[in-house]
Amino acid sequence: MDREAAKRGTTVYLVDKRIDMLPELLGTNLCSLRSNVDRLAFSCIWELTPNAEIVNVYFTKSVIRSKASLSYEEAQNRNDDKRMNDNITKSIRILNGLAKKLKKKRLDAGALTLASPEVRFNLENDSQDPVDVEMKELKETNALVEEFMLLANISVAKKIHMAEYVEQIDDHPELIDMVVYPSEDDTNDKKFTYEEHMTPVQISGGLKAGLLYQGSINISMHNYLEGTIMANIDGEETQILISGRASLNRAIQGDTVAVKLLPKEEWKTNVSKIITNDDEKEEEEEEEKENNNEDETMKDADEKPEVKDTEDASYTEKPIPTGKVVGIIKKHYRQYCGSIDKNTVQKTTNHNATQNILVISMDRRIPKIRIRTRQAQALLGKRIVVAIDSWGRNSLYPFGHFVRDLGDIGDRNTETEVLLLEHDVPYMPFSQQVLNDLPPEGENFTISEEELSKRKDLRDLDVCSIDPPGCTDIDDALHVRPLENGNYEVGV
């Protein structure tokens, strides 16, 4: 059960369904911190000053009884409505004030704000089809919950260290000598052919000599012909730009690559570009030659698709380190969802004829993938799954194979499955092996007196949870109470 939950990571809420992290008996029942029922919990409890400074913190197994299960909107209304003055409302106001101070400290210390806009889908009552979409408005109470969850994670991370675990292994005391402690000072009519990749031995030697740099390549969402890696140059973590087909040299998003810096006079500025029109004529000509069994010819890799500049906050006229991929240390090939490029499908009376076609990935960072198939006509208008097999030096695109047909483009179930696959969300039913870990009593499970005796009893506290509307797997809750010394006790 633990392994499966770790693999799934979180419950995923889609427009019309939910992908559970835990079997329903646990996720929405026995492990959900519903109001007015006893629940076993882990608690992280701080003493905070009115300025949100941590005086002390401790962790404990506990038993709690939530007094209220609130949505973000309900919690915000309590915070704003001056006529409400019950204990839960008072707690929300105190927590909100402390959360604002915690957030200011984080941002002042250099924390990044990585929030992205969220949308809400409105569904038709009978068919449950989406009929409208609107932007979600984030409330102060969203940040309230976020700040204390962050504080809990940070507090736990400071407390737990590999050394503490290793010290408990009495049979092997020598293991403690092998623990690495992080140092606070440590930061870390042309034919085109791709350049041949270096061998592993050559790459290893180049890395050791400081002539090459290793990193995981991150392809631009706006331009699949531009990528970057982070590497340590002269003791500083530095971004290296890799621009153009030739320089990318068959590297795909997520690959671990070896990069060689170009001479400084060849360094570029990091102008962000958006591809607006991939050269379809080039691809059609190439596919026609492939299907006629002619030798494949490639246009110069530096003949890029039509692009346009975009305003970018990170834009700078100053050239940045620019390099080229000279080897792929570890491939990050996976299965990709996409659809057939209709411009590469030949119209033929023989529907069983094998064709070379291109598949456009849903992930804009991935180049088109060439596959050979007898189903070209049948797969038009479908979402399909393909896998990359190889990428030869003389091939403009990687070569792969068809895996399966997901269904029609635009179909809700099809597009939902695409989302789950592309974001690697496990959605298969729980195995019997996992279900065997459920308590045999099922919904009739009760907390034993023996278990209660082992835990700190917090059931008298004004605990409440704040979650999105309709949330059923309530996995965290909060409490706060004033202390005699003027500080606050806050618990997660």
Tell me what the mean pLDDT of segment 354-363 comes to.
92
Query: Mind listing the pLDDT tens digit for each residue in 371-395?
Result: 988 888 889 999 999 999 889 888 8
Q: How far apart are CA 436 and CA 152, in angstroms?
A: 31
pLDDT at 275: 52
Residue 193 has pLDDT above 50, yes or no: yes
Q: Residues of the chain with pLDDT > 90: what percent?
A: 55
pLDDT at 123: 81
The mean-pLDDT minimum among 34-43, 59-68, 114-123, 207-216 falls in 114-123
pLDDT band at residue 121 using 50, 70 and 90 as cut-offs = confident
Compute how many other C-beta atoms are within 10 angstroms of the C-beta atom of residue 96: 19
Residue 284 has pLDDT above 90, yes or no: no
pLDDT at 187: 34
Tell me what the mean pLDDT of segment 280-287 comes to.
46
pLDDT band at residue 200 using 50, 70 and 90 as cut-offs = very high
Q: Say which amino acid occupies 407.
A: G
pLDDT at 186: 36
Q: How far apart are CA 96 and CA 116, in angstroms?
A: 22
pLDDT band at residue 151 using 50, 70 and 90 as cut-offs = very high
Residue 183 has pLDDT above 70, yes or no: no
Residue 175 has pLDDT above 60, yes or no: no
Residue 184 has pLDDT above 60, yes or no: no
Which tokens hold the place of 102? Answer: 């915690």
Residue 8: phi and psi, rounded to 5, are -80, -35
Name the pTM for this structure: 0.61
Q: How far apart are CA 471 and CA 49, in angstroms?
A: 32
Tell me what the mean pLDDT of segment 292-321 comes to.
51
pLDDT at 314: 47
Residue owning tokens 């706060």: 480
Query: Mind listing the pLDDT tens digit for each residue in 247-276?
Result: 999 999 999 999 999 999 999 876 555 554
The residues of the chain that CATH labels 2.40.50.690 are 200-393
Q: What is the mean pLDDT of the chain?
A: 84
More confidently predicted of 171 and 284: 171
pLDDT band at residue 316 using 50, 70 and 90 as cut-offs = low
Q: Which residues, 6 or more positions from 190, have their beta carbon under 8 angstroms from its beta carbon?
A: 299, 300
Task: Point out which residues pair with 39 in neighbouring strands.
Answer: 64
Query: Mind listing the pLDDT tens digit for each residue in 440-482?
Result: 999 899 999 999 999 999 999 999 999 988 788 899 999 999 9
Residue 298 has pLDDT above 60, yes or no: no
Which fold is adopted by the domain 200-393? Answer: OB fold (Dihydrolipoamide Acetyltransferase, E2P) (2.40.50)
Residue 231 has pLDDT above 50, yes or no: yes
Query: Mind listing the pLDDT tens digit for each residue in 403-454?
Result: 889 999 999 999 999 999 999 888 888 999 999 999 999 989 999 999 999 9
Query: Mind listing the pLDDT tens digit for each residue in 23-53?
Result: 989 988 999 999 999 999 999 999 999 999 9
* 3-state SS string for the chain: CHHHHHHHCCCEECCCCEECCCCHHHHHHHCCCCECCEEEEEEEEEEECCCCCEEEEEEEEEEEEEEEEEEHHHHHHHHHCCCCCCHHHHHHHHHHHHHHHHHHHHHHCCCCCCCCCCEEEEECCCCCCEEEEEECCCCHHHHHHHHHHHHHHHHHHHHCCHHHHHHCCCCCHHHHHHCCCCCCCCCCCCCCCCCCCCCHHHHHHHHHCCCCEEEECEECCCCCCEEEEEEEECCEEEEEEEECHHHHCCCCCCCEEEEEECCHHHCECCCCEEEEECCHHHHHHHHHHHHCCCCCCCCCCCCCCEEEECCCCCCCCCCECEEEEEEEEECCCCEEEEEECHHHCCCCCCCCCCEEEEEEECCCCCCCEEEEECCHHHHCCEEEEEEEEECCCCCCCCEEEEEEEEEECCCHHHHHHHHHHHCCCCCCCCCHHHHCCCCCCHHHCCCCHHHHHCCEECCCCCEEEEECCCCCCCCCCEEEEECCCCCEEEEC
More confidently predicted of 168 and 103: 103
Pick from 424, 385, 361, 384: nearest CA to 19: 424
Residue 308 has pLDDT above 80, yes or no: no
Residue 192 has pLDDT above 90, yes or no: no
Q: Residues of the chain with pLDDT > 70: what percent?
A: 83
pLDDT at 294: 37
The mean-pLDDT minimum among 57-66, 296-305, 307-316 falls in 296-305
pLDDT at 349: 66
